[in-house]
Structure 1
């Protein structure tokens, strides 16, 4: 609410009134300014949207396949591989930044779209663990019945597992979108060029050490928050259902 109120104020009013005062008059000038040639905020929005779409698709597909294999299929070393992979959650993300940057820069991926998405394209340990535990709670009788009907491994996943776990998939989708949409550190390191700025980096660049365009910053923040609010409202029922399933 504070960001919306500030975004609708003129810069002069923001500097001369208390922060929580209502906009008077209400102006959309900060939003229109962001889309002028000076700031060209269309580019960060487009880059962020493309990055999120690619990462969400890659992470969900790979996480579902890996969790299904770890949760229902039997193969040598399954538990060792799973718990070893899960142990990587204990490695702070900051530790991997320099090696990742060095490798991708050496590969010529600095200031490229590939540099933004390649390190995070596959499933995360958290997502695989979350899905695996839900897949394992699926009654074995349903999978056995599908097998008797002639369903193979992938058909059991598509027609049994995924429909029965829609709430947790919706929750994971929301978590992944929010995480990637708000990503800041990695994009600011690997793609500092203006043409590859994501929305968080572009918003931060509206400020400087000695001057902060706070009405513009709040307008950019409002634009960045709007898709996440809409996404939460769309998936609110599924998220509530997933919480209920977890409590049971």
Structure 2
């Protein structure tokens, strides 16, 4: 193999190592004891491994943050999936005046940074009396996102309309056609949308930080950030929390990466 063919692989390997290195440091730091943090180089493991950082972490109420994050993530993800499917099917298959204009206007909201709408959204929640409540935490995103609706709509449009016509000839209505024909054929994109929603909601930080103040409603990302300020810079415990937050997402991607690649490829080609 010539050096010109080896060079691209060398660049890819270097890029891969560069991307993985922060996670490697997180893993090592999480299992170092207090004396090992500054007694060893950052890229050297602490011997013997210590779980003291995890003990301090869960002793500070971190377990409650983890439960809250799981509950909120599941609730918002289910809501986003249900409403995004209904909206995407309407945009893909139903005919009504202004359908395409409405879709592109809604999709254009992707160009607006979320931070721009943060203050108006907070004022709305304040007027409704939903500040520091579970409803205020969940409502702004539970009804679906433009990106999820776009992905689903593009995928639904790749499904032959003849299949739905045949179902309607057999007496199936819109809802039955959606549930029995469209959704079973859309497993890859449903997995992709679910995965993206889980990642976004699991890592959500700014809105939970603004809308909630009670410790019993604190989420994982906020808990890790405030953990630093409450007891000082405890790098071991912070890295332990980051490792716990990272692990479910890593497992999720490993199991469903083939569905993500397939669905994105299909929606991109249409």
Please give the range of the TM-score, normalised by the shorter of the 2 chains.
over 0.9
Aligned pair partner of 2:86 in 59, 65, 69: 65
Q: Deviations over 1:95-140 (max 9, x none)?
A: 1111111121232222111111011111111111111111111111
Q: Deviations over 1:42-82 (max 9, x none)?
A: 11111111111111011000000000001001112211221
- Structure 1's unaligned 5+ residue stretches are none
For the 8 Å contact 2:154–2:267, the answer to whether it is kept is no
The yes-or-no answer on 1:184 pairing with 2:205 is: yes
Residue 13 of structure 1, CA deviation: 0.5
Residue 244 of structure 1, CA deviation: 4.4
Q: Which residue of 1 aligns with 2:3?
A: none
Q: Deviations over 1:172-230 (max 9, x none)?
A: 11001000100001111111322211100100112139931000000000110111112
Aligned pair partner of 2:225 in 179, 204, 208: 204
For the 8 Å contact 2:92–2:153, the answer to whether it is kept is yes
TM-score, length-scaled by structure 1: 0.94
Residue 246 of structure 1, CA deviation: 4.2
Q: Which residue of 2 aligns with 1:27?
A: 50
Aligned pair partner of 1:168 in 176, 181, 189: 189
Q: Which residue of 2 aligns with 1:10?
A: 33
Q: Which residue of 1 aligns with 2:214?
A: 193
Moved more, 90-99 or 104-113: 104-113
Q: Which of the two has greater helix per residue?
A: 2
Q: In the aligned structure 1, how far is the partner of 2:161 from the partner of 2:112?
A: 34
Q: Which residue of 1 aligns with 2:121?
A: 100
- Structure 2's unaligned 5+ residue stretches are 1-23
Q: Which residue of 2 aligns with 1:154?
A: 175
